[in-house]
Amino acid sequence: MSLSRFLTDLSASVEEERPAQNEYALQQQQHPTGLSNTPVPTFDLPGVENPMEFLRTHTDDRSADAKIKIKHGTTTLAFRFQHGIVVAVDSRATAGSYIASGTVKKVIEINPFLLGTMAGGAADCQYWETYLGIQCRLHELRNKSRISVAAASKYLSNLVYSYKGMGLSMGTMICGWDKSGPALYYVDSDGTRMKGDVFSVGSGSTFAYGVLDQGYHWDLSVDDALELGRRSIYAAGHRDAFSGNTLNLYHVKEDGWHFINNYDFNKLHYDMAYGYEERLKKDAPLLA
């Protein structure tokens, strides 16, 4: 066999065994906008043979060769009560021991009746919940009615499950009001989906649950429910190094969600006497 014939056969065999990444690149050429007939969005993959393994090797804390030690930290919570749902989140984003931002908006406003919270990878939560908002709007246009909270959470769960094991990091709560009333679901990047009345997600959730479990009951008034949300997130921000800066508070009602206010943790601690030491000072004249 001549050398030229051998090289030709070798080239043909390489083309046949070319990894799926090149088939994906061909698909991207056919759909340069990233849109195709598939129900999920498509992406350009990095120029490595196994993108998932590359990501795991360089970012997973359990890998000895990890170049980037990603530490996730936040506190988000939501709970149902007789007048709707209270959603409260902090605003701190961390990259390891470095505070990357103190003004992150961790509530994604999916539509006027649906909210999603952000815990885990900020980019993952922001992208997929924004994409969920697009699908909810398409559902509304096709069916002439708003999507239910159950259906929206199920859509997100199915969507992220199709990317399970690919490095997504999400722990979100889908909160909203539909024909059946207020509804609250927890969805994470493994495709887990749970319905419940009280959820808190993030590194500070242990501290938040301590306050929530003590003060929560279904018959809370609106003012008491908002105060419980504030105090729960404050407790997490005060004790957890990866949570803090400011607190964003929402109330989901029958006519949609309402943004209540943004609160600075320092002002809660000192001016509103949320801190233990400040409460002692405030109550000192009464104890004398």
- CA-CA distance, 251 to 78, in Å (whole number)? 10
**CA 180-185-189 angle, 5° bins:** 150
- CA-CA distance, 89 to 233, in Å (whole number)? 7
**CA 37-54-118 angle, 5° bins:** 65
Cβ atoms of residues 59 and 68 within 8 Å: yes
- The identity of residue 273, as a single letter, is A
Cβ atoms of residues 92 and 73 within 8 Å: yes
3-state secondary structure at position 200: strand
Does 74 participate in catalysis according to the annotation? yes
Catalytic entry in 8, 33, 57, 74 = 74
Number of neighbouring beta carbons within 10 Å of residue 280 = 11
Number of neighbouring beta carbons within 10 Å of residue 137 = 14
* Helix (H), strand (E), coil (C) string for 88-117: EEECCEEECCEEEECCCCCEEEEECCEEEE
3-state secondary structure at position 62: coil
Number of neighbouring beta carbons within 10 Å of residue 100 = 11
Residue numbers annotated as active site: 74
